[in-house]
Amino acid sequence: MNDLRHLAAQLRVDSIRCTTEAGSGHPTSCLSAADLMAVLLANYLKYDWSHPHLPNNDRLIFSKGHACPLLYAMFKAAGVITDEELLSLRKFGSRLQGHPNPGVLPYVDVATGSLGQGLPIGVGMALSGKYLDKLPFRVWVLLGDSEMSEGSIWEAFEKASYYKLDHLIAILDMNRLGQRGETELGWDSKAYATRARAFGWRAIEVDGHDLVAIDQAYREALNADGQPICLIARTEKGHGFAAVADKENWHGKPFDPEQAKKAINALGGLRSLTIQTAQPEALQPPNSFREKALELPRYEPGSKEATRKAYGDALVAVGASRAAVVALDAEVSNSTFSEEFKHAFPERFFEMFIAEQQLVAAAVGLSVLGKQVYASTFAAFFTRAYDQIRMAAISNANLRLVGSHAGVSIGEDGPSQMGLEDLAMMRAVHGSTVLYPCDPNQTAQLVLAMSDLAGISYLRTTRAKTPVIYPSGESFAVGGSRILRQSARDQVTVVAAGITVHEALQAYETLMLENIAIRVIDAYSVKPMDGRTLRTAAQDTQGRIVVVEDHWPEGGLGDAVLDALADVPMNLHVTKLAVRSMPGSGKPEQLLDAAGINADHIVKAVKNLA
């Protein structure tokens, strides 16, 4: 216990030192959790620091990412960063950024700092350990009490209980104070415990500054049977320095040098303990599944099939050939057709129900442990999880998101179900890939291509059955496009994707009857865009371009085309046909017409330019 007291004091002192040196940070948020982390680091965390990605390692997530100076102090105590590096906190070029970032630190699995995300990601990691890898590592998640107001936290509580993730341990640092004052429940640990138990968790209330009690609580947590565990630790924000302890208006404020000196003296001065953490068990490699040769589905040209159905068929084929493929869905698998994968590989399919934030967060947790994750729901509903998506990019996660029922062409369901923002939303994600196929054979090839893509990739699928226009086996490169109609006398270039490709082909036939030739480009890769083909077409058609998309005009296909043509040294005459007024219910053909994006409107736009 004496060693633990010294370690806890060292973690507090180092959290103060590095934040004072940086001139910014959240030292009081670190001081409250230092005892909890000292006991965890010294007695319970099983981790091979020389091999941070070892499958048997426990995982530690600071969901309250603003307390990362405490995490970095733990790294120093474990001997994997120096004191000099600790004091580089928040400086330009330092690995120790203001919130944890796995892109620069191998001991960090996921980016946090946007509250409410650590526990949902931990659910994904725990799913991987229990059901896929079949390894007994534990997932430890440090939670702040302020983030317990986030709905995403309770989505995680619900799913962890449903899947009986008894090796997931949440540690609630209940220090009473948030950014601007007392939290919703303050120190009402019984309320937190009641809620946790109502969600099917085992709740353990503990004094978060009693090292013996903390040790006993962790030991008890290791003996859980079928239930995830929540330790509810009553702590004091700023504990250890009386001048700030449990006082408001100290959130996110570093101590000045004089205050830091007093605080360090109050904590007993500097220490330089190095802790030997327990090694993980030397178990067998992670569980794996059988693989067989890839056989993508084939669709006959001239027939019809929905690209959403082709996604489901292709996912089965890719999953059969790649054991790392895992699928998640948000209780619409009979519409996204991910149910095809569920029937074929139930052990690699996880239902997240109507919890889109948990859907994406679980996908992140699975991804960082090496799984090739495809997560699907209606395109419109990914908007609920946009924070998780953008944070996934910071985490360097490799996610394959698939949104069905996009655009007005879904028909009678009306605007609440129509994904009309998704292309803009996904294009804005750093390093993302955005794909929008128009036929099932193309879809199958792009589903396969996604399996090897780094970062966040998004596939937009269509509800209605559409004509098969490409032969099976034809390849489609990410960043490419297809010229479907072309001649030496083309007057206008028409750029389309997905459902509007078929409208553009109808428009081509109508215009040919009037001896007006157009070039039709299927821009299936919305990001990255095939700028070379677009620039050539623009030059060949004297800069006359019509872009037609089943999406709002802001940020979608039209803007992607304009971005690709920004450096073309000629006058451009670009008409963007897009959904510009709020749609209602109706037949798909009625809604495409009302939105001004069907074949008739393409014909009119071409004539106006030609």
Residue pair 422/379 in contact by the 8 Å Cβ criterion: yes
Which structure tokens are listed for 206? 């503990």
Distances (CA, A) of 276 to 78, 79, 86, 121: 7, 9, 19, 27
How far apart are the C-alpha atoms of 228 and 84, rounded to whole Å?
38
Return the pLDDT at 418: 97
Q: β-strands 304-306, 465-467: how paired?
A: antiparallel
Return the pLDDT at 224: 82
Strand ranges, E, within 348-507: 349-351, 372-378, 399-404, 433-435, 456-460, 465-467, 482-485, 492-496
The arithmetic mean of pLDDT across residues 428-452, rounded, is 98
Mean per-residue pLDDT of the chain:
97
Percent of the chain's residues with pLDDT above 70: 100
Mind listing the domains of the chain with CATH numbers?
Answer: 2-266 (3.40.50.970), 304-467 (3.40.50.970), 482-609 (3.40.50.920)
Return the pLDDT at 1: 85
For helices 27-39 and 2-22, give the axis angle rounded to 10 degrees.
Answer: 150
Query: Does the pLDDT at position 35 exceed 90?
Result: yes
How far apart are the C-alpha atoms of 504 and 509, rounded to whole Å?
9
Residue pair 578/495 in contact by the 8 Å Cβ criterion: no
Which structure tokens are listed for 605? 């736009």
Which structure tokens are listed for 306? 């929905």
Amino acid in the structure at residue 50 = S
Instruction: Identify whether 440 is preceded by a cis peptide bond (ω within 30 of 0).
Output: no
Does the active-site annotation cover 220?
no
The CA angle 442-585-601, to the nearest 5 degrees, is 60
Residue pair 589/466 in contact by the 8 Å Cβ criterion: no
pLDDT in tens, 532-543: 999 999 999 999
pLDDT in tens, 570-605: 999 999 999 999 999 999 999 999 999 999 999 999
DSSP state of 103: T
Instruction: Enter the pTM of the model.
Output: 0.97
Of 516, 338, 389, 312, nearest to 120 by C-alpha is: 389
Return the pLDDT at 532: 97
pLDDT in tens, 239-288: 999 999 999 999 999 999 999 999 999 999 999 999 999 999 887 777 88
pLDDT in tens, 484-518: 999 999 999 999 999 999 999 999 999 999 999 99
Instruction: Identify whether 583 is preceded by a cis peptide bond (ω within 30 of 0).
Output: no
Phi (first) and psi of residue 293, to 5 degrees: -60, 145
Of 459, 32, 504, 495, nearest to 244 by C-alpha is: 32
Residue 325 forms beta bridges with which residues?
A: 372
Of 579, 515, 525, nearest to 553 by C-alpha is: 579
Q: Within a 10 A sphere around the Cβ of 278, how many other Cβ atoms?
A: 14
Return the pLDDT at 200: 98
Return the pLDDT at 285: 78
Question: Is 375 strand, coil or helix?
Answer: strand
Distances (CA, A) of 355 to 155, 325, 352: 6, 21, 6
Return the pLDDT at 551: 98
Instruction: Please pick, among 21, 236, 340, 356, the residue that the annotation labels catalytic.
Output: 356
How far apart are the C-alpha atoms of 363 and 127, rounded to whole Å?
10
Question: Is 151 strand, coil or helix?
Answer: helix
Question: Is 64 strand, coil or helix?
Answer: coil
Query: Does the pLDDT at position 70 exceed 90?
Result: yes
Return the pLDDT at 142: 98
Beta-sheet strand order (sheet of 229-234): 59-62, 139-144, 168-174, 229-234, 202-207
The arithmetic mean of pLDDT across residues 401-430, rounded, is 97
The arithmetic mean of pLDDT across residues 98-120, rounded, is 97
pLDDT class of 178 with cuts at 50, 70, 90: very high
How far apart are the C-alpha atoms of 313 and 206, rounded to whole Å?
50
Question: Is 510 strand, coil or helix?
Answer: helix
What is the chain's length?
A: 610
Handedness of CA 347, 349, 353, 357 (dihedral sign): positive
How far apart are the C-alpha atoms of 592 and 599, rounded to whole Å?
9
Amino acid in the structure at residue 197 = R
pLDDT class of 80 with cuts at 50, 70, 90: very high
